[in-house]
Structures are given as C-alpha cells and as structure tokens.
Amino acid sequence: MNSIWRHLRYAVRSLLKKPGFAAIAVLTLALGIGANTAIFSVVDGVLLEPLPYPEPDRLVAISHSAPGLELPWLPSATGLHLIDREENRAFREVALYQTSAANLTGGEAPERIRVGRATPSLFRVLRAD
C-alpha cells in the first residue's frame, strides 16, 4: 500500500513539473469521454431504444435492392401486393408505405419537401388507431 502512495505522489510531482503536458492529457481525456458519450447517445436513441409501438419486435420491413438504379433500397410494394391476406399465415397485418420528395407550391417559390404515402392498414399494423 505504501508503494501505491509513493507512485501516486511521484505522478503528481511529474505532472506539476510539466503543466502543459498535464493540460493536454486532461483535454485529451475530456474530448475522448465527450465523443464517446455523444456516440453512445446516438446509438442508444437509434438502435437500442425500442420503437414506440406495441410489440415492436414483431414489426418487419420487407424491401428489395436495386443495384443498377444506384439506389440503396426500394420499398417492396409489388411483392406485398402478392401476399394473399386470407391465406397469409406469416403476417397478422400487412401495410404498404413509401417515402419520396415532392414540390410544395402555392407560395412565392416552390419548396421541396419529404412526403409519405401509406395504405389505411398502416395504423392497424402499428396499433396507432
């Protein structure tokens, strides 16, 4: 136990001899802790928090990729239309949605906005009646 205190006193004396080094070390630690906290907050909010719907673990999004169109993914509306709701045993409810951009006019200049379209069953699927 005595050697721990001796090493600690030596470390404090060394840092006091070179205050610039001590300031850089403290600043580096502060920046690292701050960056880690910010990244964890984003990951926690986006990936770890459950969706604000009942039974979020039962929600599934079906899509397909289109590499030739230089788009990362496309909603698979065509495939979902083929699901027969009467004979479907995999899904309790099915809904379609699509997001895109549109021009909002009526003011001085048109404005580009994000829009979404969905089938009426979307609120039933999310149980957000």
Q: DSSP of 23-55, one letter per residue?
A: HHHHHHHHHHHHHHHHHHHHHIIIIISPPSSSS
Question: What's the pTM value of the predicted model, to 2 decimals?
Answer: 0.48
**pLDDT surpassing 80 at residue 64:** no
Q: In a 10 Å sphere around its CB, with 0-12 CB exposed, 13-18 middle and 19+ buried, how is residue 36 labelled? A: exposed
Give percent of the chain above pLDDT 70. 81
The per-residue pLDDT for range 22-38, each reduced to its tens digit, is: 899 899 999 999 999 99
Q: pLDDT tens-digit profile of 71-101?
A: 655 555 555 555 656 677 777 887 878 788 8
Using DSSP, state whether 108 is helix, strand or coil. Answer: coil
Who's near 10: CB < 8 A, 6+ residues apart?
none
